[in-house]
Structure 1
Amino acid sequence: MFDLSHFWGWIYMLFLITAIPVALMIILEKRSPFKTAAWLMVLILVPIFGILFFVVFGQEYRKTKKFSRKGLKGLNKLRTLASEQLREIGKTHPEPDHEILANENIIKLLLNNSNTLLTTGNQVELLKDGEKTFEAIFTEIEAARHHIHLEYYIFSDDKIGSRLKEILVRKRAQGVEVRIIVDDVGSWDLRKKYFADLRVKGIEIFPFMEVRFPRLTSRVNYRNHRKIVIIDGKIGFIGGINIADRYVEGMPKLGHWRDTHLQLKGDAAACLQVIFAADWYFVSHKNIYGYRYFPKFTEAAGTPIQISASGPDYNWEAIAQAFFVAISNAQKKIYLVTPYLMPPQALLTALQTAALSNVDVRIIIPEKSDARLSKWCSFSYVEQLLEAGVRIYFYQNGFIHSKYLLVDDSFSSVGTSNFDFRSFETNFEANAFIYNRAFSKKLQAHFMDDLQNSREIELPQWQQRSTLFKVRESLAHIVSPMF
């Protein structure tokens, strides 16, 4: 006869043997308290499945150094250049650049934490929405003479994807080198035939970190969220827009898709190339080097820019650290737009402290979202930000996917990173940090346009939301750190 007490005794013993070592490992890894608490709660509430879930999704690749940049040509030279710039920044010159000096601490931070070089010979164009962005990208690709490099989280085989494919095939036939990196999860729907068609035409294309059952591991959590284009080492694009029709046509349930992108001409494009070269080496084990890919810096007059990357292949969370310093140093205003508002505690405290110091802090997030868990987790931060005096706005004209930050008069950042712990801690991201008053004015006008299409949330009104609403927020807040 089956003894149920013996069965549960073995289950309990199995739990003690497996769950306790896993719990100790999580504690010893010294993750953020929120992540540690979330994982321990899962192990307690769903013992056996919690362990399996941790094995699949819970590994920390930054600490295990799985993503190595060892073997990448030019890395030592990059470090040397960064060290030289560190020695030069802040020195007295006959005509000092006040915009650079005003942001000296952020510039030095990025030089130290990610070898992010400062470039000055740049022209920057702010691109609003997909139509203008694709028009600009396709125009520059058509004019390419030596190489075209693309790296995207989402790369779709739809109307936009097909148009891009036709142009790339034609340029390759003209002798232009074409290399493409697509994220394996973000571009999961991209058929093998698409890859095969491009490769037959001489175009090199690789998926970033393939995820396949039954080999599914926590690599599903470490995604390449970058959206960058480099043409001939002189022209670059970076921002929130992927290759998909939704960025032009919107989506049925969300409506219009609002986004922001940058076109860069000049030395900053070579810095985007550094990021692409590192990722290309990771997926293909091939180095990209030489003056055709990395033109010599002109050091000409222009817009000062640092192109910073962050991800598990860096020792520091470079973008998050730069945001922290910028927000902490703010004297007048902080304008932030993000589709997902899930800040780490340090950045949450920095925003609250700035608002309590009478800095004008305004944040725009979408009311409708393409990610339900992220939407409710974002809402879970609204009340504590409102209580500190931060002004929160819900975007109304569809879905806003823009990712930009403006602080005071001469600091701004536009890129691929959302204002959330996933982007800061686990994803591969890239942002342009721009130190220029003229560009900041353009971005502020851009923000005010978005503000016109948003409704402000008042604290008394928000506190009246339903109990069910609050329960959804709380559950999302607890669960989201595990993903």
Structure 2
Amino acid sequence: MSWLTIYFIFEWVLRIVLVLVVLRKPTMPSSKMSWLVVVMFLPEVGLFLYLILGVTHLGWRRKREHKYVLDLASTQSQVGMTEMMAKDKEKGGDVGAKVRDIVEPEQKAMVLQAQSMSGNPIVTGSDVQFIASSKRYVDLLVKDIDEARDHVHLLYYIFVDDDYGRRVVNALIRAEKRGVACRMLVDAAGSRGFVKGHGFGELKKHGVDVHAVLPVNILRHKLSRIDMRNHRKIAIVDGKVAYVGSHNVVEEHYGGQDDMKWVDLSGRYEGPIVWQMQRVFLDDWVFQTQKQLDEMGLFPDAKKVGGVSAQVVPTGPNYEAETFRRVLIAALNSAQHRIVMTTPYFVPDEPTVLALSMAADRDVDVRLVVPKDNNHPMVKLAGEYYYDYLLNSGIKIHQFENGLLHSKTVTVDDAFGLMGSANIDMRSFHLNFEVNVLMYGKDVTQRLRDEQKTYMTYSTLIHLDHWRDRSNWRQFGEAVCSLCSPLL
């Protein structure tokens, strides 16, 4: 038997085995189809890619282990939250008000779904300050760190030791010298320059407990897929102030492109909602370090400081369901008048596209704001494949022209808004660790929409006729990239 015949048999055996593995994979048919195309045409490449990218969940042993440490981390926050609500009720407050007292009937199903998946109920009495400028974000964060008395917790996907990052590093060192417990997590891939550089070691030298999470290693044991990322951006100071949104700790012109300014939006939160954000950090901390934190100052008495009702919705492969996607679709389905969405990376799945088009069918004014220029060309082309269908459905698409719009927001009617780290793409739906905040009420929704209106001011509205005039080669590229959408 010749080597050519042996190779031919090997390839077909490999194809058959991989086809059976892919078909048994509990994912959407579109994702299976993408894998099958690769496997049938390039079986060796398909095997390699599937081994490092095909498994998007925790192994059974790690899932059991993670559930154990997650429960440990959750006990403090859940018990503390219950005690805080009880104390507030005794004083005649309404921090733990019932859903029916906070949201309209149309949103009740979405709220309960988010609560059942995240374990976080709606809490009232919080306040949020929206921050657009990266400099302003760092100014406020450094000020809060300098005023910290008990602890500082930071978790960032990208942390760069530039002028902004250096200010935060120095603030952490000052806080540690004052006896403040400083803990920091950074994603090993997104912050690889920082992890390998001087700043990471400098923090360790001065006593800051800093760790790189999810190292990129084919033999990594904690998660099956090596490109799973912790995409969250969280900062918590003394359990009283928290930052959540799209800002990383990096200058606006990150990436070396002076004409590509990153445009972000985050919230500085105070009040009872900070406890839920603390819980998310503790989940990640315990998972990474296997160490439980039991300091009394992690969950101080939460005081009502404003009128914002909110709910934190974390998502990631440690959750059984695609939490963010389900909450997003529930939000879209609840819309009666208007939806505005902003995202830097728009690669939707079929249920999301259907929910958007169905909203437009109900005469809901649906607007999508995306950057005209993108730092990931393949992702941009994959997303643009859906524009024709969306435009034809009556959805308005705005292309932001004043930088790389990196803000991730959704507003629905005058009822509620959503802001956080998650994009409208497959990675945020199925793969990455993300965190988002649902905020309820007319005032906070209008304030968030005012930020969205600013983006639309610097955007150009796409017209269907003009869009269809793009070149055949462009359309072909979009179609090819769309086939890879489930893998992006």
Fold match (TM-score > 0.5): yes
| Correspondence list, 1:227-376, <5 A | 227-245=233-251, 247=252, 251-252=256-257, 254-298=259-303, 302-376=307-381
The residue aligned with 1:226 is: 232
Question: Letter of the aligned partner of 2:477 in structure 1?
Answer: R
Give the alignment's Cα RMSD to 1 decimal. Answer: 2.3
Q: Is 1:89 matched up with 2:98?
A: yes
| Unpaired stretches in structure 1, ≥5 consecutive residues | none
Q: Distance in 2 between matches of 1:90 and 1:478?
A: 41
TM superposition score normalised by structure 1: 0.92
Tell me the residue number matched to 1:70: 68
User: Which segment is superposed worse, 300-309 or 200-209?
Assistant: 300-309
* Separation in 2, partners of 1:143, 1:432: 25
Q: Equivalent residue of 1:402, what SS?
A: coil
CA deviation after TM superposition for structure 1 residue 468, in Å? 1.3
- The Cα offsets for residues 69-92 of structure 1, whole Å up to 9 and x where unpaired, read as 31342535767879x99x97356x
Q: 1:184 to 1:378 in 2, by over 3 A?
A: same
The partner residue of 1:58 within 54, 61, 65 is 54
Find the partner of 1:151 among 132, 155, 162: 155
Q: Contact (CA 8 Å) 1:395, 1:454: kept in 2 or not?
A: yes
Rounded to whole Å, the distance in 2 between the matches of 1:119 and 1:248 is: 37
- Per-residue deviation, residues 420-477 of structure 1 (Å, max 9, x unmatched): 1111110000001000211111112111111110000011111111011112111211
CA distance in 2, matches of 1:425, 1:467: 32
For the 8 Å contact 2:152–2:238, the answer to whether it is kept is: yes
Question: Of residues 392, 398, 402 in structure 2, which corresponds to 1:397?
Answer: 402
Deviates more, 1:205-214 or 1:64-73: 64-73
CA-CA distance at 1:236 after TM superposition: 0.3
Q: Indicate yes or no: 2:448 matched with 1:454.
A: no
Taking the aligned partners of 2:430 and 2:61, their CA distance within structure 1 comes to 14
Write the mapping of 1:11-90 to structure 2, written as runs, cut at 5 A: 11-62=7-58, 64=60, 66-67=62-63, 68-72=66-70, 73-75=72-74, 89-90=98-99
Q: Deviations over 1:174-220 (max 9, x none)?
A: 10111110111111222254322111100011111111367698533
- Comparing 146-155 with 299-308, greater Cα deviation is found at 299-308
Q: Distance in 2 between matches of 1:213 and 1:110?
A: 34
Instruction: Specify whether residues 90 and 225 from structure 1 end up closer, same or farther in structure 2 by C-alpha distance, changes over 3 A only.
Output: closer
Cα 1:69–1:119 shift into 2, 3 Å: same
Task: Give the direction of change, closer, same or farther, for the CA distance of 1:250–1:123 in structure 2 (3 Å limit).
Answer: farther
CA distance in 2, matches of 1:167, 1:349: 47
**Count of aligned residue pairs for this structure pair:** 471
Given that residues 142 and 167 in structure 1 are in contact (C-alpha distance below 8 angstroms), is that contact kept between their aligned partners in structure 2? yes
* Structure-1 separation of matches of 2:294 and 2:386: 45
**Alpha-carbon separation, structure 2, partners of 1:308 and 1:65:** 25
List alignment gaps of at least 5 residues for structure 2.
87-95
Equivalent residues of 1:129, 1:248 under 8 A apart: no
Task: Give the partner amino acid of 2:401.
Answer: Q
Matched, 1:425 2:447: no
1:292 aligned partner, one-letter code: G
TM-score (norm 2): 0.91
Q: What is aligned with 1:169?
A: 173
| Percent identity of paired positions between Structure 1 and Structure 2 | 27
